[in-house]
Amino acid sequence: MARTREFDTEAVVSRAMDLFWLRGYEATSVRDLTRHLGIGQGSLYAAFGDKDGLYRAALEHYRTTRAAAALADLEKGVDARSAIRTMLVERIRIAVADGGRGCLVVNAACERLPEDPTTRRTVRDVQDASRDALAEVLRVAAERGEIAARHDPRTLAAFLVTFLNGLLISSKVTPDTAALEPLVEVALAALD
């Protein structure tokens, strides 16, 4: 008879996400995970297969919570420029936390892509969703005359995603909001 799982899987994945985000995949051992999560190694393996399985679950959790919240923030803005500014500044604020943890997805891209095609797909999915959401905001803004229509919205959105990726890496090197926020205004000049 199979044993009933004695922990909240979503809570465990969320806590694992935080640990991987703070320390990275390679620097986080199975022992670190079991201690941080308060579960046994057997339970971890039974629920997730291995460390890679838990990491993929953590990335997926990040995609459906943190990354999705960033995209939802775009829809709340009064105008496109304000919405994009708010989204970028909020990403900086989150990325500089804990001494510069960056972004879990960007960290995964830097650390895991050569070895893990599943991580590559997750990172690509997040990047594509970000580009698509920004492109739609920019398309509508150009139609309303809020921003210059001289650039293709998808190209401009791809530029903003690329800028954000670089900004999130920079947040690990220089975890200083005051140093990074002015860069947002430079990027927003592309909307003129």
CA distance linking residue 172 with residue 154, whole number of Å: 28
pLDDT at 3: 53
Rounded to two decimals, the pTM is 0.90
H or E stretch including 88? Answer: helix 80-100
pLDDT at 28: 97
CA distance linking residue 144 with residue 68, whole number of Å: 25
DSSP 8-state code for residue 14: H
Q: Which residue is it, tokens 């800028």?
A: 163
Closest CA to 148 of 183, 184, 190: 190
Name all domains of the chain by residue range, CATH numbers in brackets.
59-191 (1.10.357.10)
State the virtual CA torsion across 149, 155, 159, 160 in degrees, nearest 10. 60
CA distance linking residue 176 with residue 34, whole number of Å: 32
pLDDT at 123: 93
CA distance linking residue 70 with residue 91, whole number of Å: 8
Render the burial of 94-121: b for 16+ CB within 10 Å, e for the rest.
bbbeeebbbbbbbbbbbbbeeebeebee
Closest CA to 93 of 107, 104, 83, 103: 103
Residue at 45: amino acid letter? Y
Q: Which residue is it, tokens 């909307």?
A: 191
- 48-76, pLDDT tens digit by residue? 999 999 999 999 999 999 998 888 878 77
DSSP 8-state code for residue 63: I
Instruction: Tell me the pLDDT of the chain (192 aa) as tens digits.
Output: 445 457 899 999 999 999 999 999 999 999 999 999 999 999 999 999 999 999 999 999 999 999 988 888 787 767 999 999 999 999 999 999 999 999 999 999 999 987 789 999 999 999 999 999 999 999 999 999 999 989 999 999 999 999 999 999 999 999 999 999 999 999 999 999
